[in-house]
Each structure stands twice: as structure tokens, then as C-alpha cells.
Structure 1
Amino acid sequence: MSRNKWLAALVIAGVLAIAFFWGGNYPKKDMLPAPSETLEAAATQSAQPAEAEQSSAPSSSTPLPSGKAEPEESVMPAASPADDMTTQEQTETKPEQTKAVGGGEAAATEAPTKAPIIVPTKAPAVAPTKAPVKATSEPAQAKPGTGKDKYQTDPVPKGKPKPVEWQDATIDKSEKLTVTLSVRADTILSNMDLFNEDKLEVLPKDGIIYKTQKVTFYEGESVFDVLLREMKKSKIHMEFEMTPVYNSNYIEGIHNIYEFDCGELSGWMYKVNGWFPNYGSSRYMLKDGDVIDWVYTCDLGRDVGGDNAAGAKP
């Protein structure tokens, strides 16, 4: 071959080489895809045949061309419209299990809270009040030879009024009568060492609870009736108890000062016209102009001049 032919052949080969590299399918360096894109595209291309075959296969266990069955967990069937409706219906049928979040537009499922257990509180204890006990119509009879009546009363001194049973008395309100009444506990001032310290605030400085004054009453009323009415009118505390064996109300406390508040021999006594009756105040029927004094004794009547009636319930 001649020299010119060799040159022509080389030129043609060079042109073909250039055309191959610049105009053919050979990938250029600056146009190559990124490694991640290359891998993702390869994975997509390799998965397309399998997905096409899965869609045409009757079940996920149909053998692939390689002879292996597709694992069940790799098949994720899309939810059908019926499934969506079921899910929505289930959500709507249990509204009590959702809790509004962010203004109530979104909802988060929440377990139902347990109803609170209400423990009934114990009712406050109230001390029962003592109800007056009515006297029996047939009290025990006095023993012969003792000189006492059926209500355990010693003989009344000569010239002094005898007791009248309150259930036998008739009150006549046609005319108002007057008596003088006073209530005092000044004997306590001389026995402060015996007095209950918790009662210091209720003890008047001069010991006078109800100053001496005239009050009205009706014929047939007793010393007890007048005391009870006047203490209520003056809003002064008073506590008493009916004692059937003596057929009279026993005064336990006045102005929150009770028996035994100033020693074991202390309590309330009454006198009428300077005399301490030996029977209860419910049995002493008043007369117009009588003077009634209720006094507190710290020594069983001896400190107030009532030792002769010390054994009697006032």
C-alpha cells in the first residue's frame, strides 16, 4: 500500500474515533449521574419487572421467574375505599375516646379516664342534747315514818309555803303580777383558786349576771317559769334538766357557769324572800311582791347562808 493510502486510512480512523467519542452513546465525564442517582435508578429498574409480575400474579406467593416466592411482608396492598369507610365509621362511633387538640381540629385517641371514687365523709359528731323528762304521774311513795313526801321532800318549816306540783297548777293570765329577780355568782370572786380557768371570760367582773329588777308574772307560775322567761328575754344562757324523782327542773348552768365549775361543792341555789326552800324551783308557786335571788355557791350553800337547804335540789 502506498503512503497516501496509509494517510487516508489513518484520517478516516481518526474521524471515526472522534465521532464515536463525541457523537455516540459513550457517557461523558461531566454528564455522568451522581452515584446515589445511579444506584436509585438501578434499583427502580430492577424492581419494575417484579412489580409488574406481582400485579398480574393472583397472590403474593406466586413463584417468581427465579423460582422463589415473594415474602408476604414485602407485599403492601393499598387500602380500598371500603377499608377507608370502615376506618372512618369506627372513628365516628367512638367519639368519647378522642380528645380535641389544637383548637379541636385534630384529635388524638385517649384511653377513657377512670371515674373518680367519692368517699363519703363522716358526718360531724353532734352531742345529743338532753331533753326534759316529764315527771311520772305516779311517783314512788314515801316510806312511812320518814316525814318525807312522795318527792323525797323533808317537812317544810312552819310558816313557809308548801310545795305545789307544777302539773296541778293553773295559770291565770287575767292579771299581771310582779316579783323581784336577780342572778349573781359573786361568791366565785372569793374562790378564784377553785374556779375553772376556762370560764374566766364568762365570769362578770362584779359577779352579777342579771341585776336586781322587777319583772311580771302570772298567778300559778313558779320560780322556774319566771327564771326561764327572763333569761330568754335577756339572751342569757341557761341549761336545766327535769328530775322526776324531785318533780322539778334542776338548774345545771346559767351564763355558761355550771355546777362544779368552782369546786366539787359548787352549784346554783335559789331563795325567795331570804329563805332557801328545800324543794325544787318548779314546785315553788309565786305570790305578788316576792323577791327571788339565784346565787352560786362554792361550799354547798354555807357561803350564801343556805346550809339548811344544802341537801335540796334547787
Structure 2
Amino acid sequence: MKTSTSRTVSAKVLHSIVSVLLVFAILFVFSACQSDAVDPNETVNIGGGSEEGRNTPAQTADLSRLVRISLTIDATRAYNNASLPQNIKDGLQNEGMLVKNAMLTLSEGKTVTETFSLLRTYDIVIVSESGAAGTFVTSIQGLENGACGAASGWLFRVNGEFPSEGIDSIELHNGDKVEWLFSCDGGADVGMSFAQ
């Protein structure tokens, strides 16, 4: 009888210990997965990264085949536009400066489109569509093309130039500066010339 009672007590103690450990494990996983925004001072690898840390290239990666770029996502013009609905404005952190000069490390040959998967891991949601003219962005963080009027929408530039090709055609090189800019005036308010 004593053996049965001690087994029951041992089973209850073991069950309690396992339950407590399970709760701590769940809390650890949830706290590790939370992220508010991209840290502009953080370097992140896309392709060729290791599991030891996102800032460390994989040991098998050819370091000469990695490129480092700067990425900015700027929706400040929309954020400050009176015609932007409040519910959309509320979804734009940092007064519309969603990402500022984040340094990213990618494998050579990657395109602008291939930066999207990284940004999704940092709670930056980008929606794009593909068509005959290539891939284009329709929304970032819930801010859709047309949100501030018919001539408003997302534009991108690389190294200060607005490319005529689609985002899936622009191959990134070491030192490139990629900027996503929300224009409320057909590009005029972000320096886009119609001659480009």
C-alpha cells in the first residue's frame, strides 16, 4: 500500500515539475519571437546565413559572394497627409518611418523582391502583385496604393534613382541603398521626375 501511495505522490510531483517546465518553455518561446520593428543598426543575412546568429555568414558561404545593402521604408508623407484614414495611420509605427537605413547582407544576385521575406520576419508586411510588367508593391504595413488619393502609392529607388524596371529585375550590389517611399503626389513629393 505504501508503494502505491509513494508512486502516486511521485507521479504528482513529476507531473507538477513537468507542467512548470512546460510553462517556462512556452514563455521563453513567446518572448523570443516578439519583435516591434527592424533595428536600423542590425545587420541581417538573407541567404547564406548560419543558425548560430543572423549576423554571422555561414561557414560554407563564399564571403566574396555576399553583398551588403541599406534599406529604408518611408511612409512619412502619408502619415502626415490629412486624407489618410486614422485606422491606417495607427498601423504605421515611428510616425511613418517604418525602417531607416537597415543594413542587410544578402547573397550576390538577389533582387529587391527578395528582401521582402526578411522584412516579414520583422513584422513588416509587404503585399505585391505580379503582372506583365513585372512585380510591383501594392501595400506595405496596410498602407495601400491610392490611400491618399488616386496619385498616391509606393515607389522605390536604388542609389537615388527611380528605376524603369520592376523590382524583380533589379539585382542588388554591394553598397546599394534601397528606399521604399510612399508618394502622395504621383512621385513629385519624393523627387521623381517624369522624365525618368
Kindly state the Cα deviation for residue 205 of structure 1 after the two structures are TM-superposed.
4.5
Aligned to 1:180: 70
**Aligned with 2:165: secondary structure?**
coil
Q: CA deviation at 1:204?
A: 2.7
The answer on whether the counterparts of 2:70 and 2:176 sit within 8 Å (CA) in structure 1 is: yes
- The aligned length equals 134
Corresponding position of 1:224:
113
Contact 2:79 2:92 in 1 (8 A): no
> What is the alpha-carbon distance in structure 2 between the residues aligned to residue 242 and residue 190 of structure 1?
30
- Name which of 82, 93, 104 aligns with 1:204: 93
Q: Where does residue 173 of structure 2 map in the other structure?
A: 287
Post-superposition CA distance 1:239-284 (Å, at most 9, x none): 11111x21x2110101111111111111101001100112211111
- Shift in Å at residue 189 of structure 1? 3.6
SS at structure 1 position matched to 2:95: coil
TM (norm. structure 1) is 0.40
Counterpart code for 1:212: N
Determine the structure 2 residue equivalent to 1:307. Answer: 193
In structure 2, the CA distance between the partners of 1:309 and 1:188, relative to structure 1 (3 Å rule), is farther
Higher relative contact order (CA 8 A, sep 6+): 2
| Deviation for aligned residue 1:307 | 3.1
**Can you list the C-alpha shifts for 1:81-125, whole angstroms capped at 9, x where unaligned?**
xxxxxxxxxxxxxxxxxxxxxxxxxxxxxxxxxxxxxxxxxxxxx
**Which stretches of structure 1, 4 residues or longer, exceed 6 Å deviation after superposition?**
none
Q: 2:127 maps to which residue?
A: 239
- Which ranges of structure 1 fall in alignment gaps of 5 or more residues? 1-172
Unaligned runs of 5+ in 2: 1-60
Q: Which aligned pairs between 1:114-129 and structure 2 lie closer than 5 A?
A: none
Q: Is the 8 A contact 1:185 1:295 kept in 2?
A: yes
Aligned to 2:155: 269
Alignment of 1:38-53 (within 5 A): none
Q: Secondary structure at the match of 1:303?
A: helix
1:254 is aligned, of 140, 161, 165, to 140
- 8 Å contact 1:301–1:309 — kept in the other structure? no
RMSD after superposition: 1.7
Bigger radius of gyration among the two: 1
- Most deviating of 213-222 and 230-239: 230-239
